[in-house]
Amino acid sequence: MSKQELPVADATAEACCSPLTTEPLGAERATELARVFKAMGDPVRLRLLSMIASHQGGEACVCELTGVFDLSGPTISHHLKVLREAGLISGERRGTWVYYRVQPDRIHQVSALLDLDAVS
Amino acid sequence: MSKQELPVADATAEACCSPLTTEPLGAERATELARVFKAMGDPVRLRLLSMIASHQGGEACVCELTGVFDLSGPTISHHLKVLREAGLISGERRGTWVYYRVQPDRIHQVSALLDLDAVS
């Protein structure tokens, strides 16, 4: 069985980020983070992300993700690619199928940004 | 001095939401949340949001937000409108200027969605 890691954005490049309340975001950091939010700014992608995140074992086969939507396989693949390129999920090919997992580092990164309780 | 609340999306309609890891998002909820993420999916809007959130007193005058960017007033106003319509900020006109505040309920809502530690 072939085992192949698909290319993933480097989600761990920066460990984390300060909450929004700490200081204004710089242009570069804002561009990087906006890309992640933009990837989540689509209902289908958000549902795919939640399906993967909530799947038993934290991993979902692409074969389990396509049937839920009234969308073509290539359209679903495109959405998964956007999530992958934003570093929100990683995909690993095992045999016929690709299996997806959430990338917790990236989720924590954006979650930390939105932590308004971190600074009074 | 006139004091006028600008229209804001109802950020408190739903108190909160389950983390992504709990269960797949429904179509309706995903559409609502995707709109919020999409509003944050732009570098200028994300910087505006952080400028407002980190401003002393938690409130920023539109007059303090426009000078930072090499963008026209109407463009900045458009971005602020998108943030407002997504329920992320509220604006209040006092005299000549509009003053913006972050809407913590909305931020908590999306932050809760991304709380991967909430469920093991």
**A91 is written with which tokens?**
């995909």
pLDDT digits (tens, 9 = 90+) for B26-71: 999 999 999 999 999 999 999 999 999 999 988 999 999 988 899 9
CA separation for the pair A29, B103 (Å, rounded): 22
Domains and their CATH numbers in chain A: 5-118 (1.10.10.10)
Model pLDDT, residue B87: 97
Question: How close does chain B come to A79, measured CA to CA in Å?
Answer: 13
Rounded distance, CA A76 to CA A88, Å? 15
What's the mean pLDDT when you consider all of chain B?
Answer: 86
Q: Contact B34/A49, CB-based, under 8 Å?
A: no
Share of chain A above pLDDT 70, in %: 84
Give residue B115's pLDDT. Answer: 86
pLDDT surpasses 70 at A5: no
Mean per-residue pLDDT, B81-107 = 96
Q: Looking at per-residue confidence, does B1 or A60 come out higher?
A: A60
Distance from CA of B66 to the nearest CA of A (A): 14
Q: Inter-chain contact B116–A111, Cβ cutoff 8 Å?
A: yes
DSSP assignment of A92-118, as one string?
Answer: EEETTEEEEEE-HHHHHHHHHHT-TTS
DSSP state of B108: H
**Smallest Cα distance from A46 to chain B, Å:** 6
Strand B97-102 relative to strand A97-102, pairing: unpaired
In tens, the pLDDT along A87-113 reads: 999 999 999 999 999 999 999 999 999
Across the interface, whether the CB atoms of A54 and B20 are under 8 A apart is answered yes
Interface test with B, best of A25, A45, A52, A110 (most B CBs within 10 A): A25
Q: Report the predicted TM-score, pTM, of the whole model to 2 decimal places.
A: 0.85
Residue A91: left (phi > 0), alpha (psi -120 to 50), or beta?
Answer: beta
ipTM here: 0.85
pLDDT at B15: 42
Average pLDDT over residues A37-44: 97
Whether residue A20 and residue B49 make contact (CB cut-off 8 A), yes or no, is yes
Residue A56 confidence (pLDDT) above 50: yes
Question: Is the separation of the CB atoms in B97 and B8 below 8 Å?
Answer: no
In this prediction, residues A56-76 reach a mean pLDDT of 92
**Given an 8 Å threshold on Cβ–Cβ distance, is B37 in contact with A21?**
no
